Structure 1
Amino acid sequence: MAKQSKLLIFILTIGVFGIINTEMGVIGILPSLADHFEVSVSKAGLLVSLFALVVAVSGPTMPLLFSRINRKKVMLLVLGTFVLANIISIYTTNFTVALIARVIPALFHPIYCSLAFSVAADSVSKEEAPKAVSKVFIGVSAGMVIGVPIASFIASTTSLQMAMVFFAVVNAIAFIATLLFVPSMPVKERLSYGVQLSVLKKIITWQSIIAVIFLNSAIFGVYSYFAEYLKTVTTMSTNAITIMLIVFGGANMIGNIVAGRLLTKNAGKTVVTFPFILGAIYVLFFLFGPFSAPMLFITFIWGILAGVGANINQYWIMSSAPKAPDFANGLFLSSCNIGTTIGTAIGGLFISGIGTQYVVLVGFLSLIVSFITIALRNYMYSPSKQLSI
């Protein structure tokens, strides 16, 4: 059973990597895509922003709609959709067709990711669930961090089409592995849509959603402008900035492993202390921003915390609605995307208003809001209050 569980989690990690890689990998080849489709870079950016927007909108709804169907069949449907969409992207020369080939898989994106987290958690004991989920998160981090430079490297050394082939191949590998090695997973308890939606009637769910929105805003509101910060404040070269981004990404993957252990050992303490630790890093970020050596160390620790934060976000919403796991994971994905959007917008306002070095303020403000909602949930739903989740 242990070997089967490890293989299942490994396949889920590859699948998540393939899906996130499809979403984020185009960032590294946007200029090439703009040239290929003969559009401006800003218009080509729709291939990224429209994908993210669709994921945010479909996050709560699509996992809910597919929550009563055999999980293996649903995963094969999603992976198959991604493979076909990527194949279309390889051959099309029409930008509108390329956009459609991005929007359709984006609709299915939350289904696979929410299922991956749920299935990983269900494959082990309740106590070991955070560790299992953290391993799947490695696929998320790898998709975000490794996918971009790999796609860019392939496009620059071979061709744009070969970079697209890379996206298709990874998803095809996940599809074949799922088909051959993942057992049939019929839904044992088919919850009605009404029962799943009823979690939205509970205050704890909304407290958790708000906390996750602003925890993600705290991280990505700053990270979205990290390269600009390193360029203007730390005055690093392009190559040095690339190294820093790789350091952040590698540390992020380490953070997923750390998070699994922390949440398994003491989830409550981990969640409560996280805003303070991240806030302390942002203080160092602000004070030592102009200095390259300290920023290397700060970036490494920040990357670990970002990995831990992603796991906390998933755990916090899942723990607020444990009876509707697929729907809860959909809410998690939407909340994270909304948080990224809000944080990026506010961070941009700080940069344009008072300067790039003050982008950390979006981190501080977001952490304050998230901590208040975390503390409020803990107070209202502490054992002494005897309130049921």
Structure 2
Amino acid sequence: MTKLTLSNAPASPARDPVLPPARKPGVVHLALAMGGFAIGTTEFATMSLLPYMAKDLGVDAPTAGHVISAYALGVVVGAPLIAVASARIARRPLLIGLMLVFALANGLSALAPSYGWMLLFRFLSGLPHGAYFGIASLVAASVVPQDRRTAAVGRVLLGLTVATIVGVPFANLLGQMVGWRWCFAIVAVLALTTVGLVAAFAPRDRAQAGASPLRELGALARPQVWLTLAIGAVGFGGVFAVYTYLSSTLMQVTGARPAAIPVVLMVFGVGMTLGNLIVPRFADRALMPTAGVALVWSAAMLALYPLAAHSLPLITLDLFGVGLGCALAAVLQTRLMDVAGDAQALAAALNHSAFNTANALGPWLGGMAITAGYGWTSTGWVGCALAVGGLLVWIVSWRASVVDAGTPQPAVEAAG
């Protein structure tokens, strides 16, 4: 008798149809990380440039803050739409096209004649963000063994974290010295540099066999995809709740001089970078436990933030710890690869939609706490609550995956 087992478990996705690469994985990852550096610079630097943008565009600081929301909205909208619409396009030319759009939109941001136009250009800048990181992560993972995927994704995200060390502090100083518009112009140049690097070093691939928008949409039918996205959308919101109002907290509560702000931002970036170098190594051995530990760590660091905010050395050290917890992004990216089945592109892109939902949720709740009179440091408690919320979703996801793994699969007897 031959036993046929019918399993409801998602099949492991096939390896991407990539032609034999002529470059080492490290070179491929470096080329992809350059795009992350450009994206990270424009995303995080905008937050630190708000006072200068507000003055130049003739609006107050809270109103100027909507340019951040416009960018985040572009990410949330663009990631799924581009991933689905481009399902039949090979990944290398898709990455090049996304970076060309990103370069154009940032160049236009540098030339924005008014606040209204700036909102539009920042929305357009956000459209390629999620799709780029999602596709770049898949390409990075495709050129390494299965047990090194999270480390590969972490290397792509290193571009974003290095941006917080170099790009953001430099942009802040540039904004103070010669004007914020130059920052967006430089980002456009970085994006064009990425186009050249990806064209030269990314593996030449073919569109996946059987790829279609309908197959990508199949990811939305998987509960674990939604739970993983919710972990990021809620749990990562705490980081943005603190980071968005960090400059004001440093000046109003800590008593730091403006010159100290870039240094603190740099230390935060160092934490993010080390986190993305170290944590993925553990995640490749134990993915979900690593995600849980990262959320607990983030909750603890954010809870300490209100206490540390009254001392420049302490708040700097605490922000280094908050940065370490940001390695959660790479962990969740790999988790989505595991639970998305064949709908890899959409799930990977949606991860960055989730993080930009966090980028909207965290500052909104943090702003409400400040407006309610709880002070600048209340963003730490808001952030801690969001990290705990993400941890609760993680528990639900973990328990559901354990139950699914232990559920007997139906078997059909066939004569043989």
Task: With the length of structure 1 as denominator, give the TM-score of the two structures.
Answer: 0.88
Cα distance 1:332–1:24, how it changes in 2: closer, same or farther (>3 A)?
Answer: same
Cα distance 1:251–1:57, how it changes in 2: closer, same or farther (>3 A)?
Answer: same
**Shift of the alpha carbon at 1:153?**
3.3
Size of the alignment, in residue pairs?
387
Correspondence 1:384 to 2:406: yes
1:334 alignment partner, one of 347, 353, 361: 353
**Shift of the alpha carbon at 1:248?**
0.8
Q: Distance in 2 between matches of 1:241 and 1:387?
A: 57
Q: Distance in 2 between matches of 1:314 and 1:88?
A: 31
Correspondence 1:21 to 2:21: no
Moved more, 308-317 or 250-259: 308-317
Cα distance 1:290–1:127, how it changes in 2: closer, same or farther (>3 A)?
Answer: same
| Residue deviations 1:233-289 (CA, integer Å, cap 9, x gap) | 433333334322221112111111112212123222212222222223234334444
2:233 alignment partner, one of 204, 213, 219: 213
Aligned pairs for 1:53-68 within 5 A: 53-68=73-88
Aligned AA for 2:248? E
Q: Is contact 2:33–2:157 with CA below 8 Å preserved after alignment?
A: yes
**Shift of the alpha carbon at 1:47?**
3.8
Correspondence 1:358 to 2:382: no
| 1:229 equivalent in structure 2 | 249
Aligned AA for 1:384? G
**Shift of the alpha carbon at 1:387?**
7.7
Q: Distance in 2 between matches of 1:278 and 1:165?
A: 34
Aligned pairs for 1:302-317 within 5 A: 302-306=322-326, 308-317=327-336
**Higher gyration radius (CA):** 2
Cα distance 1:99–1:293, how it changes in 2: closer, same or farther (>3 A)?
Answer: closer
Aligned AA for 1:61? L
Aligned AA for 2:348? N
| 1:266 equivalent in structure 2 | 286
Q: Sequence identity of aligned pairs in percent? A: 24
**Shift of the alpha carbon at 1:77?**
1.2
Query: How much is the aligned-residue C-alpha RMSD, in angstroms?
Result: 2.8
**Shift of the alpha carbon at 1:2?**
8.8
Q: Is contact 1:85–1:105 with CA below 8 Å preserved after alignment?
A: yes
| 2:395 equivalent in structure 1 | 375
Q: Distance in 2 between matches of 1:261 and 1:363?
A: 26
Cα distance 1:72–1:237, how it changes in 2: closer, same or farther (>3 A)?
Answer: same
| Residue deviations 1:284-333 (CA, integer Å, cap 9, x gap) | 33444433333332222222122x22223323333331422210112111
Cα distance 1:221–1:36, how it changes in 2: closer, same or farther (>3 A)?
Answer: closer
| 2:160 equivalent in structure 1 | 140
Cα distance 1:379–1:386, how it changes in 2: closer, same or farther (>3 A)?
Answer: farther
Correspondence 1:284 to 2:304: yes
Q: Distance in 2 between matches of 1:289 and 1:31?
A: 21
| 1:349 equivalent in structure 2 | 368
Q: Is contact 1:272–1:371 with CA below 8 Å preserved after alignment?
A: yes
1:200 alignment partner, one of 220, 223, 238: 220
Q: Distance in 1 between matches of 2:193 and 2:234?
A: 35
| Residue deviations 1:99-146 (CA, integer Å, cap 9, x gap) | 444333432222222111111111111111101100111112233453
Q: Distance in 1 between matches of 2:279 and 2:100?
A: 31
| 2:137 equivalent in structure 1 | 117
Q: Is contact 2:100–2:195 with CA below 8 Å preserved after alignment?
A: yes
Cα distance 1:156–1:298, how it changes in 2: closer, same or farther (>3 A)?
Answer: closer
Moved more, 61-70 or 355-364: 355-364
Structure 1: give runs of 5+ residues left out of the alignment: none
2:337 alignment partner, one of 302, 318, 321: 318
**Shift of the alpha carbon at 1:335?**
0.9
Q: Distance in 2 between matches of 1:387 and 1:301?
A: 43
Q: Is contact 1:215–1:309 with CA below 8 Å preserved after alignment?
A: no
**Shift of the alpha carbon at 1:159?**
5.8
Q: Distance in 1 between matches of 2:206 and 2:182?
A: 37
Q: Distance in 1 between matches of 2:399 and 2:364?
A: 31
SS at match of 1:60: helix
Aligned AA for 1:331? L
Cα distance 1:102–1:290, how it changes in 2: closer, same or farther (>3 A)?
Answer: closer
Moved more, 200-209 or 348-357: 348-357
Q: Distance in 1 between matches of 2:39 and 2:189?
A: 11
More helix per residue? 1
Q: Distance in 2 between matches of 1:387 and 1:285?
A: 48
Q: Is contact 1:145–1:246 with CA below 8 Å preserved after alignment?
A: yes
Cα distance 1:365–1:102, how it changes in 2: closer, same or farther (>3 A)?
Answer: closer
